[in-house]
Amino acid sequence: MSDDKTTHFGYQKVPEKEKADRVRAVFDSVASRYDLMNDLMSMGIHRLWKRRAIELAGVRRGQRVLDLAAGTGDLAEQFSRIVGDSGAVIMSDINQAMLAQGRTRLVDAGIVGNLDYVLINAEKIPFADDSFDCVTIGFGLRNVTHKQFALDEMFRVLRPGGRALVLEFSHPTVKPLAKAYDVYSFSVLPTLGRFVAGDADSYRYLAESIRMHPDQETLRSMMEQAGLERCEYFNLTGGIVAIHRGYKL
């Protein structure tokens, strides 16, 4: 019966077993232009969103951090600098092309020694219970087939006192902004994708996947369902992006 289950891939309904491969194909296509497109799409604001996420993560020297869906490693790079030689950072992604792109970028930046690279499906994290002081997933949860499974796994591998952080596109809280954002998402983004990355469809999927992602309150409830406590969220840029944080107490 499970083979008949479907899930969303953007606005399409597809068999659950196909979604991971479809998402992988999207990021295989855009990996080489991913950083450039992030800067163009957000006009550089994504750097401020990630800086705020780093602050809210509260990572300290000597701690262990797991960065899921790490992409090209913007968060992992900063965590590596913070935890120092006595700490450790696992930079992970389900997509080999993205992970390779990130590894090349970080090695070129001189980030070595306390940073390891692991191919990971966030729904099945291959680490023991209570392994990390902080687990993050940045702009990746919306691509996960079973989001609750991923949140459950994040909780499981956190140490008591540890923090889970979800940085993700969310739902604008101001109606005029929401309308302008829709126009931008469905007109400008695919056009940018076509001219810069040679791929309009992947950026159309990006816009659709954001609309299908749970809203702020729903995601907070899902984190609580996973066992996380003191869950809260911080809207950025009018709710276009939100950072959710919860603790394993």
Answer yes or no: is pLDDT of 47 > 60. yes
Q: What is the mean pLDDT of residues 68-86?
A: 96
Q: Are 204 and 190 in contact (CB under 8 A)?
A: yes
At 1, is the pLDDT very low, low, confident or very high (cuts 50, 70, 90)?
very low
Q: Tell me the binding residues for S-adenosyl-L-methionine.
A: 72, 93, 121-122
Opening angle at CA 83, ends 154 and 78, nearest 5: 80
Distance, CA of 88 to CA of 98 (rounded, Å)? 21
Secondary structure (3-state) at 163? strand
Tell me the binding residues: 72, 93, 121-122
- CA 6/CA 188 separation, integer angstroms: 29
Q: What percent of the chain stands above pLDDT 90?
A: 84
For residue 3, pLDDT beyond 60: no
Looking at the chain, list the stretches that DSSP marks H as alpha helix, in order from N- to C-terminal side: 16-30, 34-42, 46-57, 74-83, 96-108, 147-157, 175-183, 189-192, 200-212, 216-225
Asked if residue 138 lies in contact with residue 69, where contact means CB atoms within 8 angstroms, the answer is yes
Arithmetic mean of pLDDT over the chain: 94
pLDDT band per the 50, 70, 90 thresholds, residue 102: very high
The segment with the largest mean pLDDT, out of 33-37, 79-83, 189-193, is: 79-83
Least confident of 28-42, 120-134, 167-181, 217-231: 28-42
For residue 197, the model assigns a pLDDT of: 83
Q: Sheet holding 132-138: strands in order across? A: 115-119, 88-93, 64-68, 132-138, 158-169, 241-247, 229-236
The radius of gyration of the chain from alpha carbons, rounded to an integer in Å, stands at 17
pLDDT tens, residue by residue, 159-183: 999 999 999 999 999 989 999 999 9
Q: 103: alpha, beta or left, given left = phi > 0 and alpha = psi -120 to 50?
A: alpha
Segment 97-124 shows an average pLDDT of: 94
Summarize the confidence of residues 41-54 as an average pLDDT. Answer: 96
Nearest of 90, 102, 73, 77 to residue 134 by alpha carbon: 90
Q: How confident is the model at residue 142 (pLDDT cuts 50, 70, 90)?
A: very high
* Own/partner pairs, 13-16, CB within 8 angstroms, 24+ separation: 16/145, 16/146
For 102, the token pair is: 């990130």
What's the pLDDT score for residue 37?
Answer: 86
Distance of alpha carbon 32 from alpha carbon 183, whole angstroms = 26
- Give bridge partners of residue 240 from the DSSP assignment: none
Domains in the chain (CATH in brackets) are 2-173+205-247 (3.40.50.150)
The CA distance from 1 to 33, in Å, is 39
Both tokens of 193, joined, read: 């994708």
Distances in Å between the alpha carbon of 26 and those of 29, 34, 53? Answer: 5, 11, 25
The reported pLDDT for the residue numbered 212 is 95
